[in-house]
Amino acid sequence: MTRVFLLEHLHLLGEDEEDVKALGIYSTREAAVAAVERFRKLPGFRDTPQMANHSKPGPAEGFNIDEYELDQDNWSEGYETQWM
């Protein structure tokens, strides 16, 4: 089982608009965290340099690292959109 770590950054542009960037895929969590430190110094990213806080309601602005297993489906049961 091979795991990888996807680094993304979310910046809120307004109440209903988000800008999500996939920044890289890394072989270890440590490598992804090191990348966050490099990105935090760059224009745009330094405006929202924090790690995303998923404990608060609403979109989690900032950097996010998710772990995935290679060659495995995600969202394998589909999804359902819920409008507020």
Residue 35 lies in a domain: yes
Percent of the chain with pLDDT over 70: 98
- For residue 19, what are the CA distances in angstroms to 11, 15, 68? 5, 12, 22
Q: pLDDT tens, 30-70?
A: 999 999 999 999 999 998 888 888 777 777 889 999 999 99
Instruction: Please check whether residue 45 is in contact with residue 10, taking contact to mean a CB–CB distance below 8 angstroms.
Output: no
Residue 33 lies in a domain: yes
Residue 60 lies in a domain: no
Per-residue pLDDT band for 1 (boundaries 50, 70, 90) equals: confident
Residue 82 lies in a domain: no
Per-residue pLDDT band for 84 (boundaries 50, 70, 90) equals: low
Taking the model in full, what pTM does it have? 0.83
Residue 15 lies in a domain: yes
Instruction: Indicate the pairing of strand 62-69 with strand 3-14.
Output: antiparallel
Listed residue (3, 11, 15, 16) closest to 64, CA to CA:
11
Residue 25 lies in a domain: yes
Q: How many domains does the chain have?
A: 1
Full DSSP string of 58-69 = S---EEEEEEEE
Domain that holds residue 8: 3-53
